[in-house]
Structure 1
């Protein structure tokens, strides 16, 4: 039996120190990426390594997934392989023995929905704040990674190519941002 700790924060600027303090484990999977999707390298590695009888510790539900559907899918994958997952903050434990427990499913679904709701509220407040700052002329957006010379080169290539999508891919930007740069 192996014990895994899964620790996640959304950005490289955030600190993981408050998660799973003094929770012993055999291996820690830690990442600093958004939880909005489940395409995370450390999460994938952990899910590939879990075997029957293994246990996963997670500080809280929102550290594993930020939407209910992903949360339910990941927890189901863990318990279907015979593993156990323990959410410490909520003090919830899911394993194969309780896989069909209606109360456990209800709690997981409700708390996952609350986590999703919380994230949606954060994003809504962020958008409102940006709109107000823009209206006051205080918000300029994130500074461009491109120098003036690079932007001139992009403008030149933009005017001399038909495939705008390919040009955007070559620079690692969206097509919409490409059009914004050449404005």
Structure 2
């Protein structure tokens, strides 16, 4: 059975280098033969996650199983509903998940004890994220009221001129992302914004 790893950070691998490196180290120790990397995934689409699922779907046929691995449950899934659906009701039964923060072994959807743990951990993680968002909203509202709120410092968008310059020179979006050390999603967002402004 092949193990494929999924590494995800919310902003980018430079600002979140410790988490990025830790995830890669964990996945290598677990024997992942392939890796999929996702940056700038706080709210937007996750093209690498969907590419991994699509390729696993094609690969896992005729009894060849693929075990998808993420260092932690919250790196793979954004909420409890997504985790529950992917683990207990997969499109392809030959795709299974290994989440070492829950179990050292691949998760078995037919094991009620494992699934109880998945749902409990997922519910706790969801609760923590919701509370964090609530506290952040209160803090922002207070800062705005006091005239201190400036918004989040732009990261990838600040590199718009460099992105456009590299595009003019014939670089592909993947190459631009690597050159400027930003996520592919950020490059596509910048290009989309430019098209909308031009149109």
Please indicate the TM-score interval, normalised by the length of the shorter structure.
Answer: 0.5 to 0.7
TM-score under structure 2 normalisation? 0.63
TM-score (norm 1): 0.68
- 1:131 alignment partner, one of 137, 141, 166: 141
Say whether residues 1:90 and 2:96 are aligned partners: no
Runs of 5+ consecutive residues of structure 2 not aligned to the other structure: 158-194
Seen in structure 2, the aligned counterparts of structure 1 residues 121 and 63 have a Cα distance that, compared at 3 Å, is same
Does the aligned pair in 2 maintain the 1:6–1:57 contact within 8 Å?
yes
Q: Write the distance in 2 (CA, Å) between the matches of 1:10 and 1:140.
A: 20
- Figure out how many residues of one structure are paired with residues of the other and give that number: 146
What does residue 59 of structure 1 align with? 71
RMSD value, Cα: 2.7
CA distance, structure 1, for counterparts of residue 46 and residue 79 of structure 2: 14
Q: Give the drift of 1:36.
A: 5.3
1:118–1:42 CA distance, 2 compared to 1 (3 A): same
Q: Partners of 1:84 and 1:47 in 2: how far apart?
A: 11
d(CA) in 1 for partners of 2:43, 2:116: 22
Matches within 5 A, 1:144-163: none
Structure having the higher helix fraction is 2
Uncovered stretches (5+) of structure 1, i.e. residues with no partner: 146-168, 173-183
Query: 2:11 touches 2:42 (CA, 8 Å); kept in 1?
Result: no
Choose 1 or 2 for highest CA Rg. 1
Farther off after superposition, 45-54 or 27-36:
27-36
- State yes or no: 1:19 paired with 2:26: no
